[in-house]
Amino acid sequence: MIEVYNLHKEFDGVPVLKGITTTFEKGKTNMIIGQSGSGKTVFLKCLLGLQVPEKGIISFDGRKHTELDIKSHRQLRQEIGMVFQGGALYDSLTVEENIMFPLQMFTENSKEEMLERVNVVLNRVNLENANKKFPAELSGGMQKRVAIARAIVMNPKYLFCDEPNSGLDPNTAIVIDNLIQEITKEYNIITVINSHDMNSVMEIGEKIIFLKDGVKAWEGTNKEIFETENEAIVKFVYSSNLFKKVRDAYLKKTK
């Protein structure tokens, strides 16, 4: 479990995160949602250790992020897989080399063993015959799949995704969402997704944390989101008429 307690982060004296306390559970797709500027990217970066919080505790299965020495910190980072918004694939490396990169850095496996593992994860993300292609030759959806494959190649305990389906068409977005959820269940890992795509939230959000102006304004599941009376989240989620209608229909049906 990832536990966050009283997390504060500020930039040039301007507070961005104001005392966030929450937990992210194993085997679940945990989602951080909120408007642009609500602090969700900063929150994710704090979890990843890319930003250092001013105050607060982040604990990965009892290991406090801020109290680890360099060696333990490196070890922890090797247990983390990350899917960046734009994929963040290395342009000069082929798909195969991109995925093999963490294996080359952190394992003593032979090249054959590494290639075998690369093919396993590429199969897992349903991407075959792309081994020798460069990222620039792939579509957005394929790049995301490669990014997911690279994130899971080291068998991580924690998977973080920053807006994994941004810039994708609705069909591909659903495929990517489902893939992340399947991987979460299959590998029994803690997945944290940063998103403002309401389709994803409703589809795979097993635990949702809603941030507003750097504060946790609501926490619940994708089922509870239909029933909540919390004004902030209702305003955010049901800003579109379609979602309003879906909610009304759901409430009518359950009453």
Partner 1 sequence: MNYVEHIGKYFIMLKQVFRKPQKWSVFRETLFREIEDLGLKSLGIIAFISFFVGGVVAIQTALNVDSPLIPKHLIGFATKRSMILEFAPTFMCVILAGKVGSYITSSIGTMRVTEQIDALEVMGINSLNYLVLPKIIAAVFFYPLLVLMAMFLGIYGGYLAGVLTDLFHSEDYIYGIQLEFNPFFIQYALIKTFVFAFVIATIPAYHGYFVKGGSLEVGRASTQAVVWTSIVIILLNYFLTQMLLS
Q: How far apart are CA 107 and CA 190, in angstroms?
A: 23
The piece of 42-50, 56-64, 116-124, 166-174 that touches partner 1 (CB under 8 A) is 42-50
Helix (H, G, I), strand (E, B) or coil at 12: coil
Contact of 48 with 34, CB cutoff 8 Å: no
Judged by CB under 8 A, the residue of 5, 84, 187, 243 near partner 1 is 84
Asked if 85 interacts with partner 1 (CB under 8 A), we say yes
Nearest distance from C-beta of residue 163 to partner 1, angstroms: 12
Q: How far apart are CA 218 and CA 235, in angstroms?
A: 12
Contacts of 221 (CB under 8 A, 6+ apart): 205, 206, 207, 208
The piece of 18-26, 81-89, 213-221, 237-245 that touches partner 1 (CB under 8 A) is 81-89
User: Locate tokens 């955010």: which residue?
Assistant: 236
Q: Where in 111-150 is the site for partner 1 (CB under 8 A)?
A: none
The piece of 14-22, 43-51, 171-179, 194-202 that touches partner 1 (CB under 8 A) is 43-51
Asked if 46 interacts with partner 1 (CB under 8 A), we say no
Handedness of CA 178, 181, 185, 186 (dihedral sign): positive
Residues engaged in binding partner 1 (CB under 8 A): 48-50, 73-78, 80, 82, 84-86, 88-91, 102, 104-106, 160
